[in-house]
Amino acid sequence: DTGVSQNPRHKITKRGQNVTFRCDPISEHNRLYWYRQTLGQGPEFLTYFQNEAQLEKSRLLSDRFSAERPKGSFSTLEIQRTEQGDSAMYLCASSLGPTSGSYNEQFFGPGTRLTVL
């Protein structure tokens, strides 16, 4: 499968624990995005990488959240001291870019469903 992959697919943790999710984008894609989707809502943008550079972080991304893309390939999203409000589906997407004057489709992974007890 050459699409975007995410691991783990499901994570159950206790409040206060740290969790880390991994995203492997499509290999030639240099842009990588993280979104969060809660029940009954559409995905919400969290952060964006172009190669290894993190170029924007949403206000949704509190100090407990950190994302990295160390070599411009896979990315990790870590949540420290998890809270029940962090329970959500965390989606990763990747795309080609930049391409002047055009849009490059974002391809989404299956997501990691986090449940904080």
Partner 1 sequence: AQSVSQHNHHVILSEAASLELGCNYSYGGTVNLFWYVQYPGQHLQLLLKYFSGDPLVKGIKGFEAEFIKSKFSFNLRKPSVQWSDTAEYFCAVSVAGGYQKVTFGIGTKLQVIP
**Range in contact with partner 1 (rule: CB under 8 A) among 8-16, 63-71, 73-81, 87-95:** 87-95
DSSP string for residues in 34-53: EEEE-TTS--EEEEEEETTE
Q: How many positions of this chain bind partner 1 (CB under 8 A)? A: 30
Q: Is 40 in the site for partner 1 (CB under 8 A)?
A: yes
**Range in contact with partner 1 (rule: CB under 8 A) among 8-16, 32-40, 61-69, 75-83:** 32-40
- CB of 110 vs partner 1, minimal distance in Å: 5
Q: How far does CA 71 lie from the centroid of its chain? A: 16
Pick from 48, 77, 82, 116 the residue near partner 1 by CB under 8 A: 48
Site for partner 1 in 58-77 (CB under 8 A): none
Neighbours of 116 (CB within 10 A): 19
Locus of tokens 């206060």: 16
**Range in contact with partner 1 (rule: CB under 8 A) among 7-15, 21-29, 48-56, 67-75:** 48-56
Q: Is 41 in the site for partner 1 (CB under 8 A)?
A: yes
Cα–Cα distance measured from residue 62 to residue 99, given in angstroms and rounded to the nearest whole number: 31
Lookup: tokens for 75: 């990315």
